[in-house]
Amino acid sequence: MSIRRPETATRAQAGVRLGRGRRPQSRKLRDAKDALYREHIMEVAEQIFAETGFADARMQDIAAAAGISLATLYQSHPGKQELHRALLIARDRQMLEQVEARWRHAAVPDSVEQVLLLMETHLRFLLDHPHYLRMQLKEGYAWYHRAAQPTAAERDMWERGLKNIEAVLAWGVARKLFATGNPVDQARMMMAMQQTRFANWVMDGMRAPQAEVIGHIQADFVRLCCRPAIAARLLADDGAGLNAKTQARIRALDVTPG
C-alpha cells in the first residue's frame, strides 16, 4: 500500500522530513552561526571587562554593546560571574590548544632555538587578544597564584601548561643547556617576567611591535634558564636581546603546523 504525499509538499520538503536533503547541512549552518554568535558575545564582554574591570562591568552594558536584549544574554549566561569565568576558560582553552598543536608538530625539541619558537605560540596569542590580556592584568593577580580563585577547569588547563613547561626545562637540564633548578619555581618566575613585560606593553599603549615584545620575553627566558655559555651564544653582546644569528635560526624553524 502506497502513501500519497500531499500535493503541496515539494521534493525538497519531503527530503527534509525523511532526514535527507538539507537537514545535515542546515544543522551545520546553525552550529556555525551559534559559534559566531557566542564568539561575538565573548569579544564584546572581553572588551568591557578589560576596560572597566570585573567589579564595574554591567550585564546590561554588555548586552547593549552586543546588540542583544538583556534577557537573551541571561539565557546564555546566568550572571556576570558565570560570563566572566566562561570567557576566561574559553580563551585559556583556545590558547592551550594552539600551544599543544605546536608541541605535537615539534615532537621533541632539539635546540634552544626551537624552544624559543615554541614560546611564541602562547605569547602571540596573548598579543593577538589584547582585551583578554588586559582582563588578566586588570585583576591584579599573578597568573599562577591561587588568589585568583581558579575554577577546576582553569586549574586543569594550568596544570597541563605547567607540565609542558616542566618537560622543556627537564629536557634542557638533561642536555646541559639549562641551569639546574626547581622546574615549578622556574615556570612561575617565567610567568611573572612575562606578566611584567605584557603589563609594560599595555601601559605604553600597546605601541611596540609584537615581535619586539616577544623578543624581550625570549631573552628573559634565556637569561633565566640557560647556562652562561649557551646564553652568550644566543644573546646580543649587551645581553638585552637575541642576536641576529639566533633570530635567523628561529625563523628558519618556523614552519606552520599542517
Instruction: Report the CATH number that the domain containing residue 63 is assigned in CATH.
Output: 1.10.10.60
Q: Is the dihedral of CA 93, 96, 102, 104 positive or negative?
A: negative
Q: Cell numbers at residue 163, please?
A: 607540565
Q: Percentage helix, strand, coil, to 5, in the chain?
A: 70, 0, 25
| Rg, C-alpha atoms of the chain | 24
Query: Residue 157: its pLDDT value, please?
Result: 73
Q: How far apart are CA 247 and CA 249, in angstroms?
A: 5
Q: What is the arithmetic mean of pLDDT over 219-234?
A: 96
In this structure, are 184 and 96 located in the same domain?
A: yes
61 & 170 share domain: no
Domain count of the fold of the chain: 2
Mean pLDDT of the chain: 82
**Do 193 and 132 fall within a single domain?**
yes
Residues 42 and 97 both lie in one domain: no
Note the pLDDT of residue 80.
Answer: 93
pLDDT digits (tens, 9 = 90+) for 196-212: 999 999 999 999 999 99
Cα distance between residue 220 and residue 225, in whole Å: 9
Same domain, 26 and 138: no
**Is the Cα torsion angle 226, 232, 236, 242 positive or negative in sign?**
negative
The per-residue pLDDT for 8 is 41
The answer to whether residues 40 and 159 belong to one domain is no
Single-letter code of the amino acid located at 29? L
Nearest residue to 96 via CA among 32, 173, 155: 155
What are the φ and ψ backbone dihedral angles of 44, each rounded to 5 degrees? -65, -50
Cell numbers that stand for 139 in this block: 585583576
Cα angle 129, 89, 83 (rounded to 5 degrees) comes to: 90
The average pLDDT across 162-184 equals 87
In this predicted structure, what is the pLDDT of residue 23?
Answer: 62
Residue 48 pLDDT exceeds 60 = yes
Q: Is residue 85 part of a domain?
A: no
Neighbours of 203 (CB within 10 A): 9
**Does residue 1 lie within any of the structural domains?**
no
Better-scored residue on pLDDT, 148 or 46 = 46
Assess whether 130 and 67 both reside in one domain.
Answer: no
pLDDT band at 25 (very low <50, low <70, confident <90, very high): low
Q: Which of 121, 141, 125 is closest to 133 using CA atoms?
A: 125
If we measure between CA atoms, which residue out of 116, 109, 124 comes closest to residue 248? Answer: 116
Query: Buried b / exposed e across 137-169, counting CB within 10 Å, b at 16+?
Result: bbbeeebbeeeeebeeebeebbeebbebbeebb
Most confident of 19-28, 80-89, 175-184, 196-205: 196-205
Please, are residues 46 and 132 in contact by the beta-carbon 8 Å criterion? yes
Claim to verify: residue 45 and residue 170 sit in the same structural domain: no
Q: Are residues 125 and 205 in the same domain?
A: yes
Q: Is a pLDDT exceeding 80 seen at residue 144?
A: no
pLDDT single digits (tens) 61-109: 999 999 999 999 998 899 999 999 889 888 888 988 888 787 776 555 6
58 with 99, same domain: the answer is no
Q: Return the residue matching grid coordinates 520538503.
A: 13
Judge whether residue 129 has pLDDT over 80.
yes
Extract the C-alpha cell encoding 238. Answer: 649587551
Our CA angle for 239, 209, 139, nearest 5°, is 90
For residue 20, give its domain range.
9-78
Region 181-208: mean pLDDT is 90
Which of 28, 45, 78 is the last residue in one of the domains? 78
Beta-carbon contacts of 67 under 8 Å, excluding residues fewer than 6 positions away, are: none
Bridge partners (DSSP) of residue 242 are 235
